[in-house]
């Protein structure tokens, strides 16, 4: 990162998408002018094998030419209900079905097969597996995406899938730290609250994450959930230094990449604003900011981060 301009450094921290099958003028502008270096795909981007390969080649080339660094191209290919790739590409069952087999080898093979498919297409990062424990039957967003209501089963199966992905040369991302399983609110739509002490979380929600860290998890995704017993200010985990730096980095010893869940989700956009949320996430310890859909919000967030850095520089000059 030495020798890079401020905007180039910020661009390395942004992951965004575009709402079409082929590259749009907006995504090209974000890459070339705002130096955005990472892409997330959704189903509307992924039409056929040849189209995906073509776009991945172009994106890798454009981003490396613009930034001088390779790109992360990511997708949420969990299997089951969260599947982005088109139907003609090999699909794996969802987490709960695999967990119910009692055979962790199936989770490893699911990761290995998924990773091989993604790598062949030019996608090098999977935003999976889910390590949330399905502990709340009213949870509207996790449910069958979890391997089990037993944290030890989640731990074993989730880490097996993680290792399968890594064996195929694809970055695995365990999520949603410190746990989205015990909520009755979908953070896409509202701001969930988990009113648990750290000790309680260590006995359930954090078991899979702690083991994944010990087993070499390269990347962890944050959750947009308030944990008032961990963070005294009204900040969700994504924006909390106490959680991302104090708990994840210092207590659990995680040394890998911290990526946010999408900062356009209502839990951030409605209650804090995407740009402000981006600044607070960086201050909390996040290194990769996912702003998935709206170019104007990406530009606003980059400019807000630039302004925040310049204010700090000005303070040190005085």
pLDDT, tens digit, for every residue of 124-158?
999 999 999 998 888 778 999 999 999 999 999 99
> What residue numbers bound the domain in which 194 lies?
6-317
Instruction: Give the torsion through C-alpha atoms of 307, 308, 309, 311, to 10 deg.
Output: 80
| 107: pLDDT strictly greater than 70 | yes
Confidence of residue 1 (pLDDT cuts 50, 70, 90): low
Quick one: pLDDT at residue 188?
Answer: 86
Residue 70: Cβ within 10 Å count: 12
Name which of 39-43, 119-123, 188-192 the model is least confident about. 188-192
Mean pLDDT (the chain, rounded):
95
Name which residue leads in pLDDT, 91 or 214. Answer: 214
pLDDT value for 271: 95
Q: Give catalytic status of residue 261 as yes or no.
A: yes
**Residues present in the chain in total:** 318
Name 205's Cβ contacts closer than 8 Å, sequence gap at least 6.
132, 133, 135, 151, 178, 179, 181, 182, 194, 196
Asked if residue 239 is part of any domain, the answer here is yes
Predicted confidence at residue 137, as pLDDT, reads: 84
Query: Quick one: pLDDT at residue 187?
Result: 83
The CA distance from 162 to 21, in Å, is 28
Q: Is residue 90 part of a domain?
A: yes
| Torsion sign (Cα): 242, 246, 252, 255 | positive
Does 83 reside within a domain? yes
**Predicted local distance difference test score (pLDDT) of residue 138:** 82
Tell me, yes or no, whether 44 lies in a domain.
Answer: yes
Per the structure, the count of domains in the chain is 1
Is residue 283 assigned to a domain? yes
Residue 318: band (very low, low, confident or very high) from pLDDT cuts 50, 70, 90 = low
Say which range, 3-12, 45-54, 116-125, 228-237, has the weakest mean pLDDT.
3-12
1 assigned to some structural domain? no
Average pLDDT of the residues in 207-213 = 98
Between CA 308 and CA 248 the distance in angstroms is 24
Cα–Cα dist 139/315, whole Å:
45
Measure Cα distances from 102 to 227, 254, 288 in Å: 32, 28, 34
188 in active site:
yes
CA dist 226 and 237 (Å) reads 6
The percentage of residues in the chain with a pLDDT greater than 70, rounded to a whole number, is: 99
Q: Which residues lie closer than 8 Å to 138 by C-beta, 6 or more apart?
A: 184
Task: Report if residue 28 sits inside a domain.
Answer: yes
Question: Catalytic one among 188, 195, 293, 314?
Answer: 188
21 found inside a domain: yes
Q: What would the mean pLDDT of 230-236 be, rounded to a whole number?
A: 96
Q: Of the listed 76, 132, 182, 261, which one is catalytic?
A: 261
* Cβ atoms within 10 Å of 43's Cβ, excluding its own: 12
Q: Looking at the predicted structure, is the pLDDT value of residue 3 above 80? A: no
Average pLDDT of span 169-190 = 90
CATH number at residue 176: 3.20.20.300
């Amino acid at each position: 990162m030495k020798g890079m301009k401020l905007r180039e450094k910020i661009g390395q921290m942004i992951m965004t998408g575009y709402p079409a099958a082929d590259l749009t003028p907006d995504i090209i502008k974000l890459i070339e002018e705002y130096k955005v270096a990472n892409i997330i795909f959704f189903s509307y981007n992924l039409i056929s094998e040849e189209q995906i390969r073509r776009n991945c080649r172009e994106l890798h080339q454009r981003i490396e030419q613009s930034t001088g660094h390779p790109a992360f191209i990511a997708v949420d290919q969990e299997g089951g209900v969260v599947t982005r790739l088109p139907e003609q590409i090999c699909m794996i069952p969802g987490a709960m079905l695999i967990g119910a087999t009692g055979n962790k080898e199936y989770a490893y093979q699911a990761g290995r097969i998924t990773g091989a498919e993604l790598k062949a297409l030019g996608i090098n990062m999977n935003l999976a597996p889910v390590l949330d424990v399905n502990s709340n039957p009213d949870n509207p967003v996790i449910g069958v995406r979890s391997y089990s209501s037993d944290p030890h089963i989640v731990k074993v199966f989730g880490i097996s899938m993680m290792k399968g992905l890594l064996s195929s040369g694809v970055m695995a991302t365990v999520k949603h730290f410190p746990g989205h399983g015990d909520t009755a609110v979908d953070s896409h739509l509202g701001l969930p609250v988990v009113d648990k002490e750290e000790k309680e979380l260590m006995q359930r929600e954090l078991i899979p994450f702690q083991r994944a860290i010990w087993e070499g998890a390269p990347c962890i995704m944050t959750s947009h959930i308030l944990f008032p017993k961990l963070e005294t200010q009204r900040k969700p985990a994504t924006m909390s230094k106490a959680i991302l730096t104090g708990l994840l980095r210092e207590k659990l010893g995680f040394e890998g990449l911290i990526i946010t869940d999408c900062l356009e989700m209502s839990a951030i956009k409605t209650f804090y604003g995407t740009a402000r949320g981006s600044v607070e996430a960086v201050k909390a310890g996040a290194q990769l900011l996912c702003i998935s859909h709206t170019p104007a919000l990406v530009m606003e967030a980059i400019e807000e981060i630039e302004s925040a850095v310049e204010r700090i520089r000005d303070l040190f000059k005085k």
